[in-house]
Amino acid sequence: MKEKILQRLDELIEEAKTIINPEGQVDGAKWDSWRVSAQTIVALLAGEQSEYHKRFSERGTWVFDNRHRLFAPTAALLILQRVREDYSKGYLRDLQELAAAEVFTDLLDMAEHLHANGYHLPTASIAGAVLEDSLRRLHIKHVGPWQGESSISKLNDGLKKAEIYGQIVWRQVQVWGDIRNDADHGDFAEVKAEQVKQMVSGIRDFISRYEC
């Protein structure tokens, strides 16, 4: 999980460099799409009340009038780079530590908390990570260790082939995997808040049903 997060941070950093021109100006539409993804991961890693998130939000928010002068794309990028550096060195709590904090009993509680506060994109990412790990453990339990690179789709196919569950469950898991992929790869318009809410509830039931 940590490697995937670092990879995503690197992708966002490189993408920002193509959006910000030498004068520090940006294309509004491209920047706003980038900012949504970047600000989401800053909130996830550092917390919504952290200075990282507050300053990123100030410097990264695109405005259309002259009354706000905090918008500074280059500064926002530098903040994201610092988040990446501090996270890689272990200065920020990772997802497992966040899950162990008193305010969250597990990652799905964390996902529900984020969803309730309007962050349905990171909710989908976290729920998807929980699902993938649960599928991997279910495969180990009934089939054996997974060989090679894993994904929700691959693990789901393997479990269906092993007859751990049938077509209906397989189809639902595929839907959850698609939602997670859309959230992780920037297809934000495809990720609906109500679908994500149902996804978290469904994954919780899936884990309980199959004891994974």
Examine the domain organization and report whether 116 and 180 are in the same domain. yes
Neighbours of 8 (CB within 10 A): 17
Cβ distance 79 to 55 under 8 Å?
Answer: yes
Q: Do 197 and 111 fall into the same domain?
A: yes
Domain containing 131 equals 100-210
H helices within 22-102, ranges in order? 28-46, 51-60, 73-88, 95-100
Encode the chain (212 residues) as per-residue pLDDT tens digits: 678 889 999 999 999 999 999 888 888 889 988 998 899 889 888 877 788 888 998 888 876 555 556 788 999 999 999 999 988 888 775 554 444 333 334 678 888 888 888 889 989 998 998 899 889 888 988 998 888 888 999 999 999 999 999 999 999 999 999 999 998 887 888 899 999 999 999 999 998 898 76
- Identify the helix (H) or strand (E) that includes residue 18: helix 2-19
Q: Are residues 104 and 206 located together in one domain of the fold? A: yes
Same-domain pairing of 50 and 111: no
Residue with tokens 């992708």: 11
From 50, 66, 92, the end of a domain falls on 92
Do residue 79 and residue 107 come from a single domain? no
Q: Are both 105 and 203 inside the same structural domain? A: yes
Q: Is the domain of 58 the same as that of 86?
A: yes
Residues 109 and 193 in one domain: yes
| 66 and 116 share one domain | no
**What is this structure's pTM?**
0.53
Please indicate, yes or no, whether residues 86 and 134 belong to a single structural domain of this protein. no
Q: What is the CATH number of the domain that holds 121?
A: 1.20.120
Last residue of a domain, one of 92, 125, 146: 92
Which of 43, 65, 92 represents a domain boundary (last residue)? Answer: 92
Specify whether 76 is located in the same domain as 165.
no
Does residue 205 share a domain with residue 110? yes
Give the CA distances from residue 106 to residues 86, 126, 142, 198, in Å, rounded to whole numbers and listed in that order: 24, 11, 24, 17
State the total domains in the chain. 2
Long-range contacts of the stretch 4-11 (C-beta < 8 A, 24+)? 5/41, 5/45, 5/87, 5/94, 5/95, 6/84, 6/87, 6/88, 8/41, 8/184, 9/41, 9/80, 9/83, 9/84, 9/87, 10/84
